[in-house]
Amino acid sequence: MNEKLFETALGIHSPWFIAGVDFDAGARRLTIRVDFEVGSRFAVAAAEAVHPVHDTVEKRYRHLNFFQHECQLNVRVPRVRLPDRTVRLVPPEWAGKLAGFTLLFEALVLTLCQQMTFSALARLVGTSAHRVMAICQHYVEQAVREADYGEVRKLAIDETSRAKGHDYVTLAADAGRRAVIFVVEGRGADTIKALAADLQAHGANSNDIESVSIDMSPAFIKGVTTALPNARITFDKFHVIAHASTALDATRREEQRTDPALKGLRWTLLKSRENLTTTRRADLDTLLANITTKRTARAWMYRERLREILSRQQIHVVRAMLRQWCTNVMRSKVGPMKEVARMIRKHLEGILAWVHTRQTNGFLEAINGLFQAAKRKARGYGRFRTIRIVIFLLAGKLNLSSLNPYVCQPT
């Protein structure tokens, strides 16, 4: 009775059957012995027909826990003799991609690793962090190798820090699917060349890339111009506004040296007005009432004006308004904001491209946030290989279900 119950629960069918069940309460382990019927023949990949059993080997597979108890399958696995007299092992259909695991156990690991650190999951399932990492690496690497980028036309490229200091990783994503497709160390022009080569290796043509959204890094600009020659470069408005916010904060820090009233207003100035509390909004209104004498107030007005300009959709109107904005800022005494004006003048066409394409790196910034949160939970990642695997698990939208039917298809 127990054997039939476990056969049904495990999805085991002829020629396989449950030969016995052992439960060790002290060790908190359930061991299920699996065998096959005498006289069975087995098919082998890349070999026609079914073949007789030559001999068997004992294999152990870690399966999903039985309630709170570790579950292990001890399987008598056949080796068959082929017509060319070679002998081949025939793993059962539930065997995982890595030795010692079932497909269901590997699917559980892949699912939970998107929410937990490798070490935490290893403690939960009772195996080593190294083996958990090995499962994720195997599936990620195979899924990435098999990915087809032939339909990719729009890219978003950004960098994220892998450690303190100036240690960076560059991410490239398919802007249409909002999925990371490439991860590489560094953030120079060579990273874009490596991206172009990777696109070619996955069925895409770098000449077919129509648009790329990046920040205003000279290295990224040079790399895209060289390696993706037909791509229209877009600098999304969020990067431009971020530069203006940085200039606003720099103005406040300069002015507060002689005006202590500006201390404590940093987040009041950097947050959107609609997100401020009533008290903070009153503080902002008090500052803006002195716009003729406070450079910080003028810097805030310049940033808000820039935000309003970039929300428009008429490209010729935006061009004229940006030029006038730059002229007004350059005539002002708000020094840090003048750097923003110079930047806009230098990259005007790329900024105007945002008005037309509305392509943004906002989702990449969100992915960066997810990765940084995962990095903090893991207390840092020492190897680039680990970083790459984590990023693809979090944001690659890989087709893992083609490798393991128990993994949910990404959306």
The pLDDT > 90 percentage for the chain reads 64
Q: Which CATH number fits domain 149-235+360-380: 3.40.640.10, 3.30.450.20, 3.20.20.80, 3.30.420.40?
A: 3.30.420.40
b/e string for 286-300 if b means 16 or more Cβ within 10 A?
ebeeeeeebbbbbbb
pLDDT computed for residue 171 by the predictor: 92
d(CA 278, CA 386): 45
- Could you tell me the two tokens for 53? 């059993």
Count of C-beta atoms within a 10 Å radius of residue 92: 19
pLDDT for 310: 92
The predicted pLDDT at position 209 comes to 95
Average pLDDT of every residue of the chain: 90
Distance CA 345, CA 10 (A): 66
The H or E element that residue 52 is part of is strand 47-66
Tell me the pLDDT tens digit for each residue of 69-110. Answer: 899 999 999 999 998 889 999 999 889 999 899 999 999 999
* Between 327 and 6, residue with greater pLDDT: 327
Are 248 and 270 in contact, with CB atoms under 8 Å apart? Answer: yes
Separation of alpha carbons 143 and 392, rounded Å: 10
pLDDT of 383 higher than 90: no
Residue 212 has what DSSP assignment? E
Residues constituting the chain: 411
Q: Is the pLDDT of residue 225 over 60?
A: yes
Q: Is 358 left (phi over 0), alpha (psi -120 to 50) or beta?
A: left
Domain boundaries, the chain: 2-142, 149-235+360-380, 239-357
Report the pLDDT value the prediction gives residue 162, as an integer from 0 to 100: 77
Under 8 Å between Cβ of 105 and 94:
no
Q: What is the mean pLDDT of residues 173-189?
A: 92
Mean pLDDT confidence for 285-295: 91
Q: Regarding beta strands 167-174 and 154-163, do their DSSP bridges make them parallel or antiparallel, or are they unpaired? A: antiparallel
- Using pLDDT thresholds of 50, 70 and 90, give the confidence band for residue 409: low
Per DSSP bridges, beta strands 154-163 and 211-213 are parallel
Q: Helix or strand or coil: residue 325?
A: helix
328-368 pLDDT, tens digit per residue, is 999 999 999 999 999 999 999 999 998 888 888 888 888 88
Dihedral Cα 136, 137, 140, 144, nearest 10 deg: 180
For the cut 60, the answer to whether the pLDDT of residue 1 exceeds it is no
Nearest 5 degrees, angle CA 320-CA 325-CA 328?
125
- The angle, 0 to 180 degrees and rounded to 10, between the axes of the packed helices 118-125 and 103-112 is 140
